[in-house]
C-alpha cells in the first residue's frame, strides 16, 4: 500500500509540474481550438487516489499504534516539496 501511495504521489507531482510548464489549456488536435489540458483531470484523479491511499494507510497505523500521534502531518512534506519544485529550487 505504501508503494502505491508513493507512486500515486509521484504521478500527481509530475502532472502538477506539467500543468505549471504547459498551462491549463491546450490545442485540440484536429480543430486547433483551445481545450482543457488533460493533465488537469489526471492531476485531480491522482490527488484523489493519493489522499485515499494516505487515509487508508493512516487508519492502519492508527489502529496498530500503542500511543497517540500528536506531531505535524507528514503529508505536509509532500506539499512543501511540490511548492519548492515549482520555484525551481
Give me the pLDDT at residue 87, please. 59
12-21 pLDDT per residue, tens: 999 999 999 9
Q: Is 14 inside a domain boundary?
A: yes
Distances (CA, A) of 54 to 2, 32, 35, 60, 70: 8, 39, 32, 10, 17
Is residue 6 in some structural domain? yes
Inside any domain, residue 65: yes
Is residue 30, in this structure, part of any structural domain at all?
yes
Distance CA 72, CA 23 (A): 32
Q: How far apart are CA 58 and CA 39, in angstroms?
A: 28
As a whole number of angstroms, the distance between CA 82 and CA 25 comes to 21
Domain assignment present for residue 89? The answer is no
Task: Find the domain containing 6 and state its range.
Answer: 2-82
The pLDDT tens digits for 31-54 are 989 988 899 999 999 999 999 998
Give the model confidence (pLDDT) of 63-79 as tens digits.
887 766 565 666 656 65
Report how many domains make up the chain: 1
What CA dihedral angle connects 58, 5, 22 and 44, to 10 degrees?
-60
Residue 83: what pLDDT? Answer: 64
Average pLDDT for 3-19: 91
Amino acid at each position: 500500500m505504501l508503494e502505491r501511495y508513493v507512486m500515486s504521489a509521484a504521478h500527481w507531482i509530475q502532472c502538477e509540474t506539467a500543468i505549471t510548464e504547459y498551462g491549463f489549456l491546450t490545442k485540440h488536435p484536429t480543430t486547433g481550438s483551445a481545450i482543457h489540458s488533460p493533465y488537469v483531470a489526471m492531476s485531480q484523479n491522482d490527488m484523489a487516489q493519493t489522499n485515499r491511499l494516505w487515509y487508508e494507510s493512516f487508519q492502519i497505523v492508527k489502529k496498530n499504534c500503542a500511543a497517540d500521534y500528536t506531531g505535524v502531518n507528514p503529508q505536509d512534506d509532500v506539499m512543501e516539496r511540490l511548492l519548492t519544485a515549482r520555484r525551481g529550487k
